[in-house]
Structure 1
Amino acid sequence: MSKMIFVNLPVMDLDASITFYKSIGFENNPQFTDDTAACMVWSEAINVMLLTHAKWRTFTNRPIPPATSSEVMLALSCDSREAVDAMNEAAAANGGTADINPAQELGFMYNRNLADPDGHVWEAMWMDLAAMPSSGSTS
């Protein structure tokens, strides 16, 4: 089996969260989806498990942070600047919040941050490694 990552996120409204994640480009894997959890697939290696609060509490007794806090920012690579913009627009139109931080434009890299309906922070980013400035000599 190849290495994969499963990001587990507690969500208040599972159906609304599934709709949101589909709108920003994820696909649902019904094999790991029921009325308490949904597996949303970004790529062959990246999956997001959306867990109802009740399901989440079967994994840990640590408190669920409020939607206004931020523990991590998860970055998703996009194919173009336009795809970054489209993800942010889809987030805003489907229960999330676009541009929770200022957009970052570095020429070779462009990103915008969004939050899902539960406040989980995502960074939609595009990068052109060929245009990346060199870091100087390595002696």
Structure 2
Amino acid sequence: MPKMIFVNLPVADLDRANAFYEAIGAEKNPMFSDHTASCMVFSDTIHVMLLTHDKFKQFTPKTIANAHETSEVLICVSADSREEVDAITEKALAAGGREPREKQDYGFMYGRSFEDPDGHIWEPMWMDLEAATSAMASGEEVAAA
């Protein structure tokens, strides 16, 4: 049976967050969405639950982190190519996201990162698994280009 992941993110403005995630390719599932939450579907296995702060507080006794000031999580998602990494990052930037650091290029692995409007950091990455395994087996030092 395939496993699924639901990433739950607190958002300050649900409409703005919906628009951002739709702009980068997610589809809203209305069955699990209302005025307090949106289920954004990236694939059969990856769903992002965008929750208003009041809704998010129903699931945790902890203070909600301000992701613009504090790193609470880095969400890494795989891509099929370098071009796909660039495409999703460029869509995020065009939709109002921010690129918090330079691209990382290790030859066999390539990644970029972007922040959504609430500061949550996503890291799309591509990896040539065969080349990565070979490089690590030979003891090559991994350094970004």
How many residues align? The count is 136
Structure 2 CA distance for aligned equivalents of residues 63 and 135 of structure 1: 43
Q: Secondary structure at the match of 1:91?
A: helix
Structure 1: gaps (5+ residues): none
Structure 1 CA distance for aligned equivalents of residues 96 and 60 of structure 2: 27
**Cα RMSD, aligned residues only:** 1.6
AA at the equivalent of 2:24:
I
The equivalences for 1:1-139 within 5 A come to 2-66=2-66, 67-98=68-99, 100-132=100-132, 133-136=135-138
Aligned-residue offset at 1:53: 0.7
Structure ranking higher in helix proportion: 2
Q: Secondary structure at the match of 2:58?
A: coil
Aligned-residue offset at 1:18: 1.0
Q: Secondary structure at the match of 2:113?
A: strand
- Percent identical pairs in the alignment equals 54
Structure 1 CA distance for aligned equivalents of residues 81 and 2 of structure 2: 27
TM-score (norm 2): 0.86
Structure 2: gaps (5+ residues): 140-145
Aligned-residue offset at 1:136: 3.6
Structure 2 CA distance for aligned equivalents of residues 13 and 80 of structure 1: 32
Q: Secondary structure at the match of 1:117?
A: coil
Structure ranking higher in strand proportion: 1
Deviates more, 1:1-10 or 1:49-58: 1-10
